Amino acid sequence: MPRHKDIDVRIVPPRMKDGLVLFGAGDWRALLKQAKENSISRARVCAHMDNQSVVQEMLIAFVKGSYVHPHRHLDKSESFHVIEGELSVIFFDEKGGETDRVALSAFDPEKPFFFRGEREDWHTVLIESEYAFIHETTTGPYEDDDHLLAPWAPAEGDSQQIDEFLAKLRQSP
């Protein structure tokens, strides 16, 4: 399937009650369906009210093969709680060489299911299972320029280079 330069699909939280965002199994199935239909193989629900919120919380469904352009955050923290599936957070040096890998799993007792970092290292997410569902939290407000995309990584939309990049990551230990 060709990859397109799409933005991550953001849907309005499906249920709100007196200022509470509610998300259940039916919402998860709908989000996974949306990720499977999206050309970038992921979809998210933003639980925060807007980009200016001090805490940015998202529920994200990834399908295996989803490409998250390696990036770094400036003066931000970021955490992932894996609710379902397995993924790896992979860190890189300035030239794109892998420096660290953290395997996360919702069901393997030998692996953590939670990750939090404040490092400004280049990193990406590699989906290891058929799909993964995470709760991501980062500090706000969200600004388009609060993260940098790695110049050595494939550009969004370049299917062949992305597939080669992901295959190389899968071959690494």
Does residue 75 carry a pLDDT above 90? no
Residue 145 is assigned to a structural domain of this protein: yes
Residue 32 is assigned to a structural domain of this protein: yes
CATH code assigned at 68: 2.60.120.10
* Tens-digit pLDDT profile for residues 29-48: 999 999 999 889 999 988 88
Residue 12, sorted as left (phi over 0), alpha (psi -120 to 50) or beta, turns out to be beta
Domain ranges, residue 75 = 9-171
Instruction: Dig out the tokens for 97 from the structure.
Output: 């060489």
Residue 3 is assigned to a structural domain of this protein: no
Residue 2 is assigned to a structural domain of this protein: no
Given a contact cutoff of 8 angstroms between Cβ atoms, the answer to whether 57 and 48 are in contact is yes
Residue 135 is assigned to a structural domain of this protein: yes
Residue 4 is assigned to a structural domain of this protein: no
Bridge partner residues of 61 (DSSP): 43, 133
What is the pTM (predicted TM-score) of this model? 0.88
Given a contact cutoff of 8 angstroms between Cβ atoms, the answer to whether 87 and 132 are in contact is yes
Residue 159 is assigned to a structural domain of this protein: yes
Q: How many domains does the chain have?
A: 1
Q: What is the mean pLDDT of residues 113-120?
A: 91
